[in-house]
Structure 1
Amino acid sequence: MTDLSLLKTQLHKIYEANPFVNLLQMKIIEVSAGKAILSMPVQNQYTNFYNSAHGGALASLADTSMGMACITTGKKVVTLDMNLNYIRDVPCREALTAVGTLIHNGSRTMVAETEIFNNLQQLVVAARATFFVTGKISLE
């Protein structure tokens, strides 16, 4: 098995065991070098006063997809800062797809961006974040 294959297996284990990821029902759709695609349904408990996806739930999906795109390099990261543009609302019961992409792979910091799409493939969130490299991911 290649290092990327081992890393994909490890990422699935890590994220499937993560309570917050499970709470938001995020699922890994695809992982490749510098890229992560995740899905998340918009359930009642993830909505705001207007019965649309809460900005915090959308930010969590964005952060997770970008962080995972960074982790595909084998580096552990934590978020330093994140900017989100909320483009359109997402009604309850829609499914979201986040496409996180690594755009800078530095030794101390990394930068990634994500686009989140609704059921109609319309852009609902665009985000960019800077991550701090804290070490390497164990493949065991």
Structure 2
Amino acid sequence: MTNQKLLLNDHLQNIYKQNAFVNLLEMKLIELEPGKAKLSMPVNKEIHTNLYKMVHGGALAALVDTAMGVACATTGKKVVTLDMNLNFIRGAESQQLLTGVGTLIHDGKQTMVAEAEVLDADNNLLVKARATFFVTGSFL
């Protein structure tokens, strides 16, 4: 990995460690590579669940949005979400550790497109998502 990519990865790790919403949902960046990001998020019943004690769809949406946004950011571009589509496949109960994996599928000058999946500890697919992002600038 080049020095610039290492510097960008360190920068992204620092940004997301300071992000209030990411911290509220207890998300952690696990792995970064160009065009791909892997995050974890526990399902804490006091934070992440709905009235059925299952993970709230909004928490899952936040995880895929963040995973896809970070995947875009690994290219050095700052982005905001223009639109996002989610398919909720399966529910998750509290105390599970979920993994969100975002993958860049289009790296344009003005827009980017990414996909993401959320998997549980048994590698079951919970959510499949796709989003379009608008490029607002660059990091570093």
In structure 1, stretches of 5+ residues that fail to align are: none
Supply the distance in 2 between the matched residues of 1:59 and 1:3 (Cα, whole angstroms).
31
Give the counterpart of 1:98 among 97, 100, 119. Answer: 100
Aligned length: 138
Partner of 1:114: 116
In structure 2, stretches of 5+ residues that fail to align are: none
* Aligned-residue CA RMSD (Å): 0.7
Moved over 6 A (4+): none
**How do 1:36-115 residues align onto structure 2 when only pairs under 5 Å count?**
36-44=37-45, 45-115=47-117
Please report how far the alpha carbon of residue 119 of structure 1 lies from its aligned counterpart in structure 2 after TM superposition. 1.0
Partner of 1:34: 35
Matched position secondary structure for 1:100: strand
Matched position secondary structure for 1:46: coil
Deviations 1:85-136 (A, max 9, x none): 0000000111100110000000000000001100110000000000000011
Partner of 1:23: 24
Give the counterpart of 2:127 among 125, 128, 131. Answer: 125
Identical-pair percentage: 59
Deviations 1:24-83 (A, max 9, x none): 010111000000000000001210111000000000000000000000010000000000
Give TM-score, length-normalised by structure 2: 0.97
